[in-house]
Amino acid sequence: MKIKEAQTIVDEWIKEFGVRYFDEKTNALVLVEEVGEFASLIARKYGEQSFKKGISESEVDDKVKEELGDIFFVLICLANQMGYDLEKILKASLNKKTKRDKDRHKLNPKLNDG
C-alpha cells in the first residue's frame, strides 16, 4: 500500500465510523499519547524497566505493533485534515537528510566498528 492510499483509506474510515476528524489540537495530543504508550513499551522491552507479571514476549511485540499502528493512524489523520501529502513530505525529508547527512554517519567513529 502506498502512503497516499493509506491517507485515502483513513479518510474513508473517519467519514464512515469516526463521524469527523478531531480538531488538530486534539489529534496532536492523541499523537503524543500514543507515542508515550509506545515509549513505555520500549522502555520495558529494551530499557531497564520491567513488565508486569504474566506478560509474554509475544504479547509485548503485539502491543508494540499496535502502538505503531495507532501512531501511524493519528499521523495520517493530522496530515489529512491539514491537507498534506505524506508521500511528498517523506520524500522531502529524505532528500533533506541525504544532503545534510550524506557523509556524517559514515564518518562518525561511534557508529563504526574500528
Average pLDDT of span 60-69: 96
Return the higher-pLDDT residue of 65 and 108: 65
What does pTM read for this prediction? 0.88
Domains in the chain with CATH codes: 3-85 (1.10.287.1080)
Residue type, 106: K
Q: What is the pLDDT of residue 114?
A: 53
Q: What is the pLDDT of residue 83?
A: 98
Q: What is the pLDDT of residue 9?
A: 98
Q: What is the pLDDT of residue 56?
A: 79
Whether residue 54 has pLDDT greater than 90: no
> In this structure, what C-alpha cell is assigned to residue 67?
502502538
How big is the CA angle at 70 (ends 64 and 74), to the nearest 5 degrees?
150
Mention every residue, 6+ apart, whose C-beta is less than 8 A from residue 67: 34, 37, 38, 41
Mention every residue, 6+ apart, whose C-beta is less than 8 A from residue 1: 9
Comparing 25-39, 63-77, 79-93, 94-108, the range with the smallest average pLDDT is 94-108
Q: Indicate the average pLDDT of the chain.
A: 93
pLDDT > 70 in the chain, percent = 99
How many CB atoms neighbour CB 54 within 10 A? 6
> In this structure, what C-alpha cell is assigned to residue 14?
473517519
CA-wise closest residue to 67 among 49, 46, 42, 86: 42
CA-wise closest residue to 11 among 91, 82, 108, 76: 76
Residue type, 90: L
Q: What is the pLDDT of residue 57?
A: 78
